[in-house]
Structure 1
Amino acid sequence: MIRPATGLRPVHWLLLLLSSGAYMVLAYGVPRQEFGLLLGLLGVAFLAYAGLWRTRLPLRAGLGAALVLRLLWLPALPALSDDYHRFRWDGLLVAAGINPYQYRPDAFELPGSPPQTSTKTGLPDSSAPLQRHPYHLLSVQILEQLAAEYPHLNSPHYYSVYPPVCQAVFGATATLFPTNARAAVLLMRLILLAAEIATAWLLVRLLQAFGQEPRAALLYLLNPLVVVELIGNLHFEALVICLLLLMLWCLRRGLVATAGMALGLAVATKFLPLLVLPLLLQRLEWRRFLLLAGTLGATLAVVFMPFISQELFVNIGQSLNLYFRSFEFNASIYYLLRALGQWWTGYNEIAFIGPSLALTTAVGGLLMAAFERHLTWPTLPRWLLLLLTLYFLLATTVHPWYLTPLVALSVFTPYRYALVWSGMGVLSYAAYQTSAYTENLWLLGLEYGVVISFLLWELLQHKATSGAELQQP
């Protein structure tokens, strides 16, 4: 039988049609409260994803399919996440020349705004007056848009935690489309799509450079969690992944200063990439590491400069402190320690457990860097994958899109537990069935039971394989 020029077989067309149908319904027909339907459609998408890999979808066709599956989401508003309302809020402030780190949303006396509340109790707070913004200086147009967004904010009592690169995107889209939320969302999605296209190029090139199968890039590019969360739900891990891969590409080519700039922009998008520094210290002699660190610092100074104010670091620090000491979602080891703490003391010990687990991650990163062998650029993704895995296993909050960097890093390694986690993480959507965001601990137990079991099995398999290779003459 003669195959078409694309190399696609009928089974490939069938699986791609199933994926497209599932994504179309997810994008335009499923509210996140409908967990059963959501789970079924994502299940279809993941089965098609596994089938495409097992039937060896050609790389060129896979790259085209990855692009088409992302383009399906272009006109849609995010249905599974309401974070884009905060993106829009911060962007409107930036467009109006207001520092988004300086005021909480509840500092604006807008129609529909509730009384001032405490970030600790959620009750009216009269102990410390909140600094109110001089809202009367804003244009009527901006006030109307802020008033429309305010009821949809999921964290109106917290200062913004989105770093400057995100704020630049928010501000640019709000400047171009101050009264059209759908157009602003479309432009944000196009920016993230451009990052994903660059990621596809970097994945293929890096895999080729490392002597690995370029087709492994499809494990990331066709992953349903990546498609749904990064393009569908507008999460900026897409930029972080692209910039981290660009850093690795530059380091391999000896462009240390450029790599420092890429890392700086990644950190200025999400703070998490700072964890890579101990792993880089081992691979770069001290002069080159200082060059990278200096370029990183200079990049951060430049991008933070427009937002520098007396309140900047205090307010961001307060929000990050609340993240580690108050927020809980889809955690694993933390929930076990929380239950133990409640049994021992009678109340939730997150204020102690959360920072302690974060410190444990930092120590773990230093130990990994100290004991790592085979210090090459091809092994960096594996060690960063393991370090981020430790971080998320110890974290108090693990939203599904947080896992996408693990999926990207895993394509350079023999490990596939991140792909399993990306599928099992879908179970956390069960919490959105009610406005109270009540988590199902049985589903969490299933999620992490499968993920940790698969992770341990892979680690043991890899250890046995490595041992056998060392024993060969």
Structure 2
Amino acid sequence: MLTYWKLHKFPILMVLGSMAFYYIFGYQLVREDFIRLITLVAALFFFLFKLMQLERWNFTFLLVAGIAFRAIFLFSTPNLSQDFYRFIWDGQLMLNGVNPYLFTPNELLSQLDASFPNKELLHQSMGSLSAKHYSNYPPLNQLLFTVAAFLGFGSIKGGIVALRLLILLADVGVLWFGKKILQQNNLSPHLIFWYFLNPLIIIELTGNLHFEGVMFFLFITSIYLLQKQQPIFAGLIYAMAILLKLVPLLFLPLFLPFLGLKKSAVFYASIAVSCVLLFLPFYTEDFAANYSKTIALWFSNFEFNASIYNTAEYVATTYFDAKPWLFIKTYGKIIPLLTIGIALGLLIFKRMKSIGGLLTGMLILMTGYYFITSTVHPWYLVFPIGLCLFTTYRFPLLWSATVFLSYYTYSQPDFKEYLPLLVVEYILVFGYMTYEILKNRNKTFHFR
């Protein structure tokens, strides 16, 4: 033990320091305290960088460190997001036999009896915006919410712990299958720790209970199964990723050049059948209308931490006297068309037949979508962070740090964004991305 301490003294001290910072993050921080938040983030990213320098080949050490960082949050209440209240609400509805897609919380509040645990607190805490809309979380998400509500025995704290354990297990799954894919393609297996130890991943997933990490676990498992020539099972798992979050729908066209026509048909058929079967328990005449209406809101009503959208809105409102509330609705109709255009453009690259080419294409598509959309919450970057590790690009790792600048918005009483900070965030990201494009222009669709 003494010898191990002498050999790993500084990394151990960094892990202990990180644990202390994660404790402050989980139990003492309020999101309005921007200076403290950004200072903690800067320190945690510094420790990540040093740990990867000193211990990147020490798998056991980094695995234990990553689990310890997550365990710190186990009994904390998320302090950067209130979405988990809606998760528990939807889970409790499912336990009571109520379809969460058919009624808004506002409609249901007066109808629920005293047997519905913490109904007033959950309704109030989820926020007025969430309470007046139908649930936008796909069926597999609802199943996990139900499991957490069941395991929580009606307690909000119990539900939080259950949600957290599900997310933690998914992160370990990402580590396991990500490492395997890296090894199968002659890449350094330690790269997966840039995901597993990334402060954004730990804070936004384990800390704030967002399910993008569970989605990425299912996605990466599907990619692994495709490499193992199992398109039917891969399609089933991929469908589960879609029905957890809809993001993987974006990537479906890109599998065609990678798999070829025959395997693609099997893969797509497996996805389609699995999605239909998993959606069936929720289907009613009102389901499609309510769900599509809620999803459409994300394209045409909300804005947060946008790059190109903020620029376009500034030009339109300053020089063309456009009304902001009308501009976002018009812009929201263009986003899907631009995203489809990027996907179709990627299909012309014949070199997207390797795993490296496929995942690079996905990274380009995902990045393009986030650059043009009007809403980019920090936890949305889970996919780019994970994808980039299988490519020659690393700019999402920089973005995972700079995106925390967007939390300045919550330190303002009117939640007004401070555009100069967003300019700093995106100049750094765009600049480093441009540098990497120029550096890697001759090997864009190959593993390094």
In structure 1, give the amino acid aligned to 2:23.
M
Deviations 1:178-231 (Å, cap 9, x if unpaired)? 531000110111111111111110111111001000011111111000000011
Asked if the contact 1:200/1:221 (under 8 Å) is kept, the reply is yes
- Give 1:156 deviation, angstroms: 1.3
RMSD across aligned positions (CA): 1.8
Task: Name 1:378's counterpart in structure 2.
Answer: 356
The 5-angstrom pairing of residues 56-205 of structure 1 reads 56-57=55-56, 58-110=58-110, 135=111, 138-142=112-116, 145-154=118-127, 155-205=130-180
User: How far apart in 1 are the matches of 2:73 and 2:444?
Assistant: 43
Task: Name 1:388's counterpart in structure 2.
Answer: 366
In structure 2, give the amino acid aligned to 1:239.
V
Task: Name 1:291's counterpart in structure 2.
Answer: 266
Task: Name 1:347's counterpart in structure 2.
Answer: 323
Task: Name 1:16's counterpart in structure 2.
Answer: 15
Q: What is the TM-score with the length of structure 1 in the denominator?
A: 0.89
Asked if the contact 1:19/1:48 (under 8 Å) is kept, the reply is yes
Q: What is the TM-score with the length of structure 2 in the denominator?
A: 0.94
1:248 partnered with 2:244: no
Asked if the contact 1:74/1:186 (under 8 Å) is kept, the reply is yes
The 5-angstrom pairing of residues 270-309 of structure 1 reads 270-309=245-284
Instruction: Using the aligned pairs only, state the percent identity.
Output: 30
In structure 2, give the amino acid aligned to 1:150.
H
User: How far apart in 2 are the matches of 1:465 and 1:190?
Assistant: 39
Give 3-state SS (helix, strand or coil) of 1:168's partner. helix
1:27 partnered with 2:17: no
Deviations 1:28-55 (Å, cap 9, x if unpaired)? 1101111111111111101101111222
In structure 2, give the amino acid aligned to 1:171.
T
In the superposition, relative to structure 1, how do residues 285 and 47 fare at CA in structure 2: closer, same or farther (>3 Å)?
same
Find the partner of 1:258 among 219, 233, 253.
Answer: 233
User: How far apart in 2 are the matches of 1:28 and 1:466?
Assistant: 43
In structure 2, give the amino acid aligned to 1:264.
A
User: How far apart in 2 are the matches of 1:372 and 1:437?
Assistant: 46
In structure 1, give the amino acid aligned to 2:85.
H
User: How far apart in 2 are the matches of 1:218 and 1:211?
Assistant: 16
User: How far apart in 2 are the matches of 1:293 and 1:7?
Assistant: 54
In structure 2, give the amino acid aligned to 1:459.
I
User: How far apart in 2 are the matches of 1:378 and 1:256?
Assistant: 18
In structure 2, give the amino acid aligned to 1:35.
F
How many residue pairs get aligned? The number is 439
Deviations 1:103-152 (Å, cap 9, x if unpaired)? 11111244xxxxxxxxxxxxxxxxxxxxxxxx1xx44121x522121111
User: How far apart in 2 are the matches of 1:442 and 1:152?
Assistant: 31
Find the partner of 1:456 among 431, 434, 438.
Answer: 434
In structure 1, give the amino acid aligned to 2:53.
R
In the superposition, relative to structure 1, how do residues 321 and 413 fare at CA in structure 2: closer, same or farther (>3 Å)?
same
Task: Name 2:377's counterpart in structure 1.
Answer: 399
Asked if the contact 2:152/2:162 (under 8 Å) is kept, the reply is no
1:207 partnered with 2:185: no
